[in-house]
Amino acid sequence: MGITLTRPIVLVGMMGSGKTAVGTALSRLLGVAFLDSDHEIERAAQMSVAEIFARDGESFFRARESEVLGRLLTGHPCVISTGGGAFLSEANREMISQLGVSVWLKADLELLWNRVRHKATRPLLRTPDPKATLAELLAARAPVYAKARIAVEAEPGLSINNMACKVARRLEQVEGLIEEIKDA
């Protein structure tokens, strides 16, 4: 017997929560494709997210992000990693709710900071006090991320594969998301 995913899985959460790494491992576990919305935007624009922010601004980027997300959600069921701000848009949340299943990878400030503090690719953290900025973003965004259909708590020391397994166990509880197929 095999399984088939009936809807896309959309990973949401803060930068550093593991959406890309866990999403890649989860897609392998489920035997489906992995797509990263930020990567898709960068590929289409032929520039990095940071360059898009610098050249065109955040509102331009968010509009492209919504367009890409809509395209990814209407493709084959897969695992989709979103940028940290994608789920903040009510229109994006509604689209995800209608076409996919949202999963919040929930991580505390210290875990997030340990993961992002050495990365220069985070345009929203280019401030005099990036940890304070991260704390403010987390405080503002957590109530919105809490609207996700499923929340899975990240833990320090938990491997990427173990976190993917933790997410998969929660997904198994979503009625109608996974269908078993009998081998012919």
The reply, when asked if residue 169 is annotated as ligand binding, is no
The reply, when asked if residue 157 is annotated as ligand binding, is no
The reply, when asked if residue 182 is annotated as ligand binding, is no
The reply, when asked if residue 38 is annotated as ligand binding, is yes
Is the Cβ–Cβ distance between 181 and 39 less than 8 Å?
no
d(CA 86, CA 97): 13
The reply, when asked if residue 84 is annotated as ligand binding, is yes
**How many CA within 13 A on the CB side of residue 113?**
13
The reply, when asked if residue 131 is annotated as ligand binding, is no
The reply, when asked if residue 62 is annotated as ligand binding, is yes
d(CA 184, CA 177): 22
The reply, when asked if residue 21 is annotated as ligand binding, is yes
The reply, when asked if residue 100 is annotated as ligand binding, is no
d(CA 146, CA 133): 20
**How many CA within 13 A on the CB side of residue 172?**
11
What H or E segment, with its residue span, contains residue 51?
helix 49-56
Binding residues for substrate: 38, 62, 84, 141
Going by the annotation, the residues of the binding site for ATP are: 16-21, 122
Query: What are the binding residues for Mg(2+)?
Result: 20
Annotated binding site: 16-21, 38, 62, 84, 122, 141
